[in-house]
Chain A
């Protein structure tokens, strides 16, 4: 693997992760440079979510090192909360806070973590809601929104923290087909603005349009990586070919 230059904002070295006896990651090396968009594809259970969750320490590595923005993540790290504040994460099932309004969902961490005033946080929240295209939903509760709208609120909630990195874990796979585009459009705009993004998604169109690099994972390892054109049009590994033929077939 290439050595991490100064521009590397994520640097993962020889990452292993066990869940009991299950080996979810078996030695992953990956560097992501500032401003790059990386798309991770691979069959279910191949370790994509685990890799993503190691980047903000929702999972703690069994072996190896994870460096984010020049800081090593580890169990004893007192800074973990401040590091996480720089890393936005968007989940498959949105995970909005159901007891808070949309606006308060976006305000909460700004106040509690960033220490912003109520007015400032509310202003940022409204800007972000505008950015994801649903300013009129500020006073709704999450349960009153469609899946696509909820996911856009989740993106706005993460963006309001002004993160340096955004992680997406299958953000559209729980959505009805007609809502996928509205979420991908937001992600695409974000990529164009230069946000560093690591996205687990099987949306080929998005990957081709936004990704600088596509990574194919299987069985806890990175099997192949390259530009979208390389990986999608000329896969070198048999496993990649098989996987692509399966997802393109359906």
Chain B
């Protein structure tokens, strides 16, 4: 309903019936979601291709094997990103200088590096290096007699963390920084009076956050969190560079082997489109619900 600006204002004392604005044909044409027609055409076209052209059907059959990996990678990475984001978001507004600056550093580093580069770096440099540190630590613990912790740590080898787990780590670290900013904004949107009322009742800062501020803040940012989930479904395609067999990687393999680039990438694009459209609709429904029964 963004088109109300060109509607003549109704005097406040007009009879009720007059306030029920009749939309003109022109307005209906303006507001109709024509783009959905385009989506419909694409869906029908895709269905037609897959059912009538054997090569497209074959491509779909092959590529859909990756759907499970795409979905689980996204779900795991997003769940971890939620936790990281909440911690970093709280850190950003902490009164502790060290915590606040560490959180800011994390967010700024991630925002300053392309996601693709981050994924390479985290999976192929940061994870092995951390493992190296653990190993050294383990060897040292071993040498001072704490072999019950040191032993297992020292015996970790570099393949202990498979590439698909590294991909999840990389995506979570990246999105954790994005979600941190969403959480921070959500917390700061709650008036200072709420924190003061909670503290004046004797609650600690953590209790006030947990029971008073976060429930309201998270509710406010649910649509934004939903949008980032949709964005992550798309960005999960980047993990294909680590040879993780998500739909992008499987499509690349298929195209490389059969040279059917048109089939492979058409199917791939349609699969992403289908997932993101469905999720976007869910986010909108959620948003409308929240607006519908919001009690101020």
Q: Which residues of A contact B (CB under 8 A)?
A: 56, 58, 81-82, 84-89, 91, 93, 95-99, 108-109, 112-113, 141-144, 154, 157-158, 161
- B152 located at the interface, meaning its Cβ lies under 8 Å from any Cβ of chain A in the complex: no
- B196 located at the interface, meaning its Cβ lies under 8 Å from any Cβ of chain A in the complex: yes
The count of residues in chain B whose C-beta lies closer than 8 Å to any C-beta of chain A is 20
> Given the known A-B contacts A95-B194, A143-B295, are A112 and B215 also in contact in the complex, defined by CB atoms under 8 Å?
no
Rounded to whole angstroms, the CA-CA distance of A153 and B202 in the bound complex is 17
Verify B197–A81 contact, CB threshold 8 A.
no
The chain B residue sitting closest to A82, CB to CB, is B202
Verify A81–B212 contact, CB threshold 8 A.
no
Residues of chain A contacted by B191 (CB below 8 angstroms) = 95
Q: Is the contact region of chain B dominated by helix, strand, or loop, or is it mixed?
A: helix
- B37 located at the interface, meaning its Cβ lies under 8 Å from any Cβ of chain A in the complex: no
A-B interface pairs (CB < 8 A), number: 67
> Given the known A-B contacts A91-B193, A98-B216, A144-B295, are A58 and B211 also in contact in the complex, defined by CB atoms under 8 Å?
no
The chain B residue sitting closest to A105, CB to CB, is B197
Residues of chain B contacted by A154 (CB below 8 angstroms) = 197
Query: Within residues 209 to 247 of chain B, which ones have a CB less than 8 A from any CB in chain A?
Result: 211-212, 215-216, 219
Give 6 closest A-B pairs by Cβ, nearest first. Answer: A85-B202, A109-B201, A95-B197, A89-B200, A113-B202, A95-B193
Verify A87–B197 contact, CB threshold 8 A.
no
Verify A87–B200 contact, CB threshold 8 A.
yes
User: What is the distance, in angstroms, from B94's C-beta to the closest C-beta of chain A?
Assistant: 16
- B203 located at the interface, meaning its Cβ lies under 8 Å from any Cβ of chain A in the complex: yes
Rounded to whole angstroms, the CA-CA distance of A113 and B200 in the bound complex is 11
- B185 located at the interface, meaning its Cβ lies under 8 Å from any Cβ of chain A in the complex: no
The chain B residue sitting closest to A167, CB to CB, is B200
Verify B198–A58 contact, CB threshold 8 A.
no
Residues of chain B contacted by A157 (CB below 8 angstroms) = 201
Residues of chain B contacted by A141 (CB below 8 angstroms) = 295
Residues of chain B contacted by A97 (CB below 8 angstroms) = 194, 197-198, 212, 216
Rounded to whole angstroms, the CA-CA distance of A86 and B202 in the bound complex is 8
Rounded to whole angstroms, the CA-CA distance of A45 and B198 in the bound complex is 25
Mask: chain B, 174-201; 1 = CB below 8 Å from A; 0 = not: 0000000000000000010110111111
